């Protein structure tokens, strides 16, 4: 009987058990017996279920922005950190090849380990699972090659192949923009919600409008808007001040009837921590009180 990489059966072909969409077996009787390397035996239970039973992700939340450079990766990382601090099991999926590397921000290095039943994500010091397209791209590869369909395929495989284990929340850092590339990535995952990141330097109304259309197209709730970079924190006196006059995030949120999740100021301490791979050490109350109402816990 046939099996493929999506099925956790390994290569010996004795595949039995119920066929499902994750398992690629075609005969309908896949047992899903895992063939584990002996070195893994201590770490992973020898009896493995099919991949989708081993990974149980309750909520997949995508973070989008109108363009690059608005701090979307910072927001994604801080969302993950905030939820982790509340005790949830959390993962991040970095699908943005143009932006900062989330593994780098979390200080995790190395290649994800391929085991029989899938790809093991990297893990941060506070236990956040991290996977990134940047980890699997060949060095010096031309980013232009990674257009929507190819990126979508890779992200889709992250969903099926990565051993996320039990997660309450998986945050996905989308490619920037509201065009085909982020849309294709969004369509590669079973999303439960969408968060929009805006900055004062762009037409936020236009972006939110577009995001709402995309979310409606895919029947995903918009969980809210985060305004980034409208303020800054002085490292000397701690004053937080607006950079370009009053921010418009709250106003935009009200206009489009979506929740305003808050404003993230530019803080040199955050930039420094991210450069050092210590985003988890950043003190921020921004997302610790945010539990999306529309999604299950």
* Residues at the interface with a copy of itself (CB under 8 A): 68-70, 201-202, 232, 234-237, 239, 241-245, 266, 268, 271-272, 275
Q: Of 43 and 236, which CB lies nearer to a copy of itself in the complex structure?
A: 236
Q: From the CB of 236, what's the least distance to a copy of itself, in Å?
A: 4
Q: Of 45 and 69, which CB lies nearer to a copy of itself in the complex structure?
A: 69
Q: From the CB of 105, what's the least distance to a copy of itself, in Å?
A: 13
Q: Of 236 and 296, which CB lies nearer to a copy of itself in the complex structure?
A: 236
Q: Of 116 and 233, which CB lies nearer to a copy of itself in the complex structure?
A: 233
Q: From the CB of 246, what's the least distance to a copy of itself, in Å?
A: 10
Which residues is 60 bridged to in the sheet? 170
Q: What is the distance between the alpha carbons of residues 152 and 114, in angstroms, rounded to a whole number?
A: 20
Nearest to 273 by CA among 263, 283, 265: 283
Nearest to 262 by CA among 294, 221, 225, 209: 225
Q: Of 46 and 246, which CB lies nearer to a copy of itself in the complex structure?
A: 246
Nearest to 32 by CA among 1, 61, 57: 1
**What does the block give as tokens for 237?**
């006196």
Q: Of 2 and 239, which CB lies nearer to a copy of itself in the complex structure?
A: 239
Q: What is the distance between the alpha carbons of residues 276 and 208, in angstroms, rounded to a whole number?
A: 33
Q: Could you give the residue ranges of the DSSP H alpha helices within 55-175?
A: 72-85, 102-105, 133-136, 148-161
**What does the block give as tokens for 270?**
């955050």
**What does the block give as tokens for 292?**
């999306």
Q: From the CB of 262, what's the least distance to a copy of itself, in Å?
A: 19
Q: From the CB of 68, what's the least distance to a copy of itself, in Å?
A: 8
Q: From the CB of 86, what's the least distance to a copy of itself, in Å?
A: 28
Phi-psi region of 178 (alpha: psi -120 to 50; beta: other; left: phi over 0): alpha
């Amino acid at each position: 009987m046939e099996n493929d990489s999506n099925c956790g059966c390994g290569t010996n072909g004795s595949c039995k058990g119920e066929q499902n969409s994750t398992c690629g077996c075609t005969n309908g009787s896949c047992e899903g017996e895992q063939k584990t390397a002996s070195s893994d035996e201590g770490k992973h239970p020898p009896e493995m279920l099919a991949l989708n039973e081993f990974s149980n992700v309750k909520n997949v939340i995508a973070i989008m922005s109108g363009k690059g450079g608005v701090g979307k990766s910072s927001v994604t990382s801080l969302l993950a950190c905030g939820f982790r601090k509340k005790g949830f099991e959390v993962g991040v999926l970095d699908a943005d090849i143009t932006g900062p590397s989330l593994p780098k921000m979390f200080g995790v290095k190395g290649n994800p380990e391929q085991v029989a039943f899938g790809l093991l994500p990297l893990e941060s010091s506070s236990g956040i699972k991290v996977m990134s397209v940047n980890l699997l791209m060949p060095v010096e590869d031309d980013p232009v090659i990674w257009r929507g369909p190819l990126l979508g395929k890779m992200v889709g495989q992250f969903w099926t192949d990565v051993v996320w284990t039990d997660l309450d929340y998986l945050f996905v850092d989308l490619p920037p923009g509201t065009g085909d590339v982020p849309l294709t990535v969004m369509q590669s995952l079973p999303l439960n919600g969408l968060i929009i990141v805006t900055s004062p330097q762009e037409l936020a109304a236009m972006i939110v409008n577009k995001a709402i259309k995309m979310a409606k197209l895919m029947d995903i709730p918009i969980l809210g808007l985060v305004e980034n970079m409208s303020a800054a924190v002085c490292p000397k006196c701690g004053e937080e001040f607006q950079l370009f006059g009053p921010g418009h995030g709250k106003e935009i949120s009200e206009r489009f009837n979506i929740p305003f999740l808050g404003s993230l100021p530019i803080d040199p301490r955050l930039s420094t921590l991210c450069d050092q791979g210590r985003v988890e050490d950043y003190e921020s109350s921004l997302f610790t009180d945010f539990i999306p109402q529309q999604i299950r816990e």
